[in-house]
Amino acid sequence: MVGHGWRADFYLRLARQAPDRFQCVGAVTRRPEAGAGLEREWDIPTYRRPEDLVAAGAPEVVVTSVPRTANPGVLRTLVGLDVAVLSETPPAEDVDGLRRLWADLGAADLVQVAEQHPYLPIVAAVRGLIDHGVLGEVTSAEVSWTHDYHAIALLRTLLGVRGEPARVHAVHTTGPVLEGPDRGGWPDVQKVRAAGHTLSILEMAGRTGVYDFTEGQWFNPLRRRRLIVRGSHGEVVGDQVTWAGDDGTPLSAPIVRRHTGLDGNLEGADLDTLTWAGRVLYRNPYPGARMSDEEIAIATCLERTVLWRRGEGPAPYPLADACQDHLLALSVHAAAERGEPVTTATEPWADAVRVA
């Protein structure tokens, strides 16, 4: 790993929670005192330069968890060492930075990006419904859950959109919201504060994505997640599925989460499966590790990066996908600031963007 802090700790915890699947062979920190802290807390060796980490540990993949302004330089260094990278999001700060990064690194095909949201269990389950054709042709999706490129990644994944030009409409307002927890936990004194709210409609390849995010929504239990996917033959609203039977009869059934450790269950607190109408849509790939959904998604993205590097599986979230999603997220904010629609162009990475 290159970097340290709140995001980096997720990966270090994975090595503790699932040691049979993950091992951290070292971390790079510029400051010796930060490295000493990691060594004490996580019992891993630390280095001051990526070159020293690669020479000492021969890692299968290096995770970068550094500020977005520093990330492009770190990526160039690691790719120059012929190392596979799982990059923190976003891979660059702005559109020009994305274009420069793609020009320098796109052909190397060594960079994946740590976008875990498409691998969240409920999202994976909904993707399973789409893949099975339950909803017919998907036409629109709405996400009110997370922000910027994370939300765009969800929308584009659910809609099956690649790197086509998009027309983006957006508005930004401000309203009162009671404070919820942040990365450090609940506030000592709760108070109402002004929170920005961005609502956007993205027209992409004949399909429609709706982006709806209130500042602080990630952790605030007063702003529940909302996920809607509509198709020609049905829709998903949250965990409720409505679809047309073989004879056109409207049918409904929920996506049901089985979580062990409840009531008298002695299997331990763990996600087991997500099922729908007698079909298993998702099975926890890390049983017994006691991971949250977010941790499961991060672990999935990391493990798929390793399998991709070994030639044993598809790329989980390539650099081209990350560039496209950050481009669209920046366009959402630009449209809100200008008060008029923004139309994106066909970018150099467009042909490399996949349909997830």
pLDDT category of residue 58 using cuts at 50, 70 and 90: confident
308 domain residue, yes or no: no
CATH number of the domain at 267, please: 3.30.360
Domain boundary at 256, 291, 326, which?
291
Confidence check: pLDDT of 169 > 70: yes
Structural tokens at position 307: 């399998």
Q: Is the separation of the CB atoms in 79 and 101 below 8 Å?
A: no
83 domain residue, yes or no: yes
- Pairwise CA distance, residues 201 & 142, whole Å: 9
203 domain residue, yes or no: yes
342 domain residue, yes or no: no
- Are 281 and 161 part of one and the same domain? yes
Confidence check: pLDDT of 73 > 70: yes
- Are 128 and 229 part of one and the same domain? yes
- Are 136 and 75 part of one and the same domain? no
- Are 216 and 259 part of one and the same domain? yes
Confidence check: pLDDT of 343 > 90: yes
Q: Which residues contact 205 (CB under 8 A, 6 or more apart)?
A: 159, 161, 162, 164, 166
What number is the average pLDDT over the span 168-176? Answer: 97
127 domain residue, yes or no: yes
- Are 73 and 123 part of one and the same domain? no
Percent of the chain with pLDDT over 70: 100
Least confident piece of the model among 87-91, 269-273, 316-320: 87-91
- Are 67 and 127 part of one and the same domain? no
Confidence check: pLDDT of 31 > 70: yes
What number is the average pLDDT over the span 7-31? Answer: 95
- Are 140 and 245 part of one and the same domain? yes
pLDDT category of residue 285 using cuts at 50, 70 and 90: very high
- Are 167 and 284 part of one and the same domain? yes
Nearest partner of 309 among 86, 120, 76, judged by Cα: 86
180 domain residue, yes or no: yes
What number is the average pLDDT over the span 112-123? Answer: 96
Confidence check: pLDDT of 15 > 90: yes
Total structural domains in the chain? Answer: 2
Domain holding 97, by residue range, is 2-114
- Are 17 and 159 part of one and the same domain? no
317 domain residue, yes or no: no
Q: Is the separation of the CB atoms in 349 and 102 below 8 Å?
A: yes
Q: Check residue 57 and give its pLDDT.
A: 74
Nearest partner of 131 among 61, 229, 49, 65, judged by Cα: 229
Q: Check residue 219 and give its pLDDT.
A: 87
pLDDT category of residue 50 using cuts at 50, 70 and 90: very high
Q: Check residue 356 and give its pLDDT.
A: 62
Q: Check residue 190 and give its pLDDT.
A: 87
- Are 88 and 161 part of one and the same domain? no
What number is the average pLDDT over the span 321-331? Answer: 97
304 domain residue, yes or no: no
- Are 104 and 126 part of one and the same domain? no
Domain boundary at 92, 114, 136, which?
114
Sign of the CA dihedral with 228 first, then 299, 42, and 56 last: negative
What number is the average pLDDT over the span 210-218? Answer: 94
Q: Check residue 45 and give its pLDDT.
A: 95
Confidence check: pLDDT of 224 > 90: no
Q: Check residue 89 and give its pLDDT.
A: 86
What number is the average pLDDT over the span 297-323? Answer: 96
* pLDDT tens per residue, range 104-116: 999 999 999 999 9
Domain boundary at 231, 261, 291, which?
291
Q: Check residue 68 and give its pLDDT.
A: 87
Q: Check residue 318 and give its pLDDT.
A: 96
What number is the average pLDDT over the span 270-286? Answer: 97
- Are 106 and 233 part of one and the same domain? no
The pTM (predicted TM-score) of the whole model is 0.95
Mean of per-residue pLDDT scores for the chain: 95
What number is the average pLDDT over the span 223-248? Answer: 96
CATH number of the domain at 64, please: 3.40.50.720
Q: Is the separation of the CB atoms in 116 and 301 below 8 Å?
A: yes
